[in-house]
Structure 1
Amino acid sequence: MAWIRMLDEEEVAARGGRLARLYRGNTDPEHGTVDNVLKIHSLRPETLDGHARLYHSVMHDPGRLDATDRETLAVLVSAANHCVY
């Protein structure tokens, strides 16, 4: 759980504008939501685009590792860094 206030999809859609466009462009098709790691930028949309590009290139781009391996590595790195997320 993030300790940073995040705007959910419904609130962002009601506000419209740049953040709503960024949310639509970064909605996970499998779950229909924006990943929390991106939602933490909801109060500063100018940082969302760059983070989204980096995040998607690491976690969703086809490559040598499949999604399970990427998520496993993310969990291991988080554990090594004592990150509860």
Structure 2
Amino acid sequence: MAYIEMIDEDDAQGPLLEMYSRLTSPHGGVDNILKIHSLNVPSLAAHMKLYKTLMYGRSGISRARREMIAVTVSVLNNCHY
């Protein structure tokens, strides 16, 4: 498995800490798929902007259909996100 250095929530400071505070999931932490951007906060912001655009932006694809596509792709990739 590949290793990517990440900054945990307890060690986050400044803009990263602010971003983490907005991204805490219902289970109480920040998902690793987001923490991989922790060394480059602008890339984390870009990731979230892309995600929100794809999932919530104006589209001819319904929100429910987008969610079904995301789940299907995750299952096919054996990804729990």
Same fold (TM over 0.5): yes
Give the alignment's Cα RMSD to 1 decimal.
Answer: 2.8
Q: Which amino acid aligns with 2:14?
A: G
Q: Which runs of 5+ in 2 are unaligned?
A: 57-61
- Residue 25 in 1 paired to residue 22 in 2? yes
Would you tell me which structure has more strand in proportion to its own residues?
1
- Tell whether the 8 Å contact from 1:6 to 1:43 is kept in structure 2 after alignment: yes
Structure 2 residue aligned with 1:4 = 4
Structure 1 residue aligned with 2:59 = none
Using CA pairs below 8 Å that are at least 6 residues apart, which structure has the higher relative contact order?
Answer: 1
Q: Which runs of 5+ in 1 are unaligned?
A: none
Number of paired residues?
Answer: 74
Show structure 1 runs of 4+ deviating over 6 A.
Answer: none
- C-alpha distance in structure 2 between counterparts of 1:72 and 1:2, whole Å: 24
